[in-house]
């Protein structure tokens, strides 16, 4: 397991704060209220470890397949439905949505190998990530991949806690399946808009692993 680059600064600041709080706690409370001092230490250590785990990148054997669309994120499948596309596409698409809790790995990965033909950031609200309108009203970043004449859209969506979406892709870039496309801090959601003839391999409630689980084939 390694730590994502987006977490270096955050973890460094959190570690300094952890040290200051506990130095002051032990200096002022260890004699008069030792139990309170230990409670503060345990709670702050737990928060620090949680923060470190949030930025983790576990070692995995990624799925590489020409006809597979792999999960761009860890989480839970909360939506599988046919929708009218409202960005880039003008036709109807099959939407698969993955909800990411703060406990999930938050690295986002390219679902296919291909060319990035669209990459756009949108300002927006911070509704809870499972809200039906979060896909169109929340802060988000949309990317369209083209492979063998077919296109899919992946939308990174901020949630109520997520305040920063990181995306590393630009139009014209050639990318490989399983490589990083970005990172979302804290709870969030990722939507995929797929062609209607794509064969969906997951169901509501499934818990895919980013870069590993095959969401659909085409």
Angle between the N-to-C axes of helices 34-54 and 8-29, in degrees from 0 to 180, rounded to the nearest 10: 180
What pLDDT does residue 6 have? Answer: 86
- Numbers of helices and strands, H then E, in the chain: 3, 15
Element (H, E) at 52: helix 34-54
pLDDT at residue 138 in the model: 72
| Residue pLDDT tens, the chain, 218 long | 799 888 899 999 999 999 999 999 998 888 889 999 999 999 999 999 998 988 999 999 999 999 999 999 999 999 999 999 989 999 999 999 999 988 898 899 999 999 999 999 988 665 555 555 555 567 889 999 999 999 999 999 986 655 578 899 999 999 999 999 999 876 688 999 999 999 999 999 999 999 999 999 98
Q: Give the SS3 label for residue 152.
A: strand
Q: What is the pLDDT of residue 156?
A: 94
Q: Which residues are catalytic?
A: 188
b/e sequence 35-65, b meaning 16+ C-beta within 10 Å: eebeebbeebeeebeebbebbebeeeeebee
| Rounded Cα gap, residues 162 and 183, in angstroms | 11
Yes or no: say if 177 and 28 are a contact pair by the CB < 8 Å rule.
no
Phi, psi of 146 (to 5 degrees): -120, 130
Q: Kind of pairing, strands 180-184 and 174-175? A: unpaired
Specify the pairing of strand 2-3 against strand 56-57: antiparallel
Q: Diameter of the chain by CA atoms?
A: 71
The single residue listed with the structure tokens 């309108």 is 133
DSSP code string of 20-49: HHHHHHHHHHTTT-HHHHHHHHHHHHHHHH
Global confidence as pTM: 0.84
- The CATH number of the structural domain formed by 68-217 is 2.70.70.10
For residue 25, the model assigns a pLDDT of 93
Helix (H) or strand (E) holding 9: helix 8-29
Contact 42, 168 (CB under 8 A): no
Q: Which residues on neighbouring strands pair with residue 141, listed in sequence order?
A: 121, 156
The domains of the chain are located at 2-57, 68-217
Tell me, what's the pLDDT at 125? 62
DSSP at 7 = G
């Amino acid at each position: 397991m390694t730590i994502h680059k987006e977490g270096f600064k955050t973890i460094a600041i959190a570690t300094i704060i952890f040290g200051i709080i506990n130095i002051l706690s032990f200096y002022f409370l260890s004699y008069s209220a030792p139990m309170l001092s230990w409670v503060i230490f345990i709670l702050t250590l737990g928060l620090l470890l949680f923060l470190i785990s949030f930025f983790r990148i576990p070692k995995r054997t990624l799925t590489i397949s020409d006809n597979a669309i792999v999960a761009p994120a860890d989480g839970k499948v909360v939506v599988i439905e046919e929708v009218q596309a409202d960005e880039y596409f003008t036709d109807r698409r099959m939407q698969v949505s993955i909800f990411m809790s703060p406990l999930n790995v938050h690295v986002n990965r390219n679902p296919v190998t291909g060319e990035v033909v669209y990459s756009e950031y949108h300002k927006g609200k911070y509704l809870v990530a499972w809200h039906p309108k979060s896909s169109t009203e929340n802060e988000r970043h949309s990317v369209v991949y083209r492979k063998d004449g077919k296109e899919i859209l992946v939308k990174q969506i901020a949630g109520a806690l997520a305040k920063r979406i990181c995306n590393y892709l630009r139009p014209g870039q050639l990318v490989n399946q399983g490589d990083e496309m970005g990172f979302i801090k804290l709870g969030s959601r990722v939507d995929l808009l797929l062609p209607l003839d794509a064969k969906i391999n997951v169901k509501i409630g499934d818990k895919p692993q980013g870069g590993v689980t095959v969401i659909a084939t085409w």
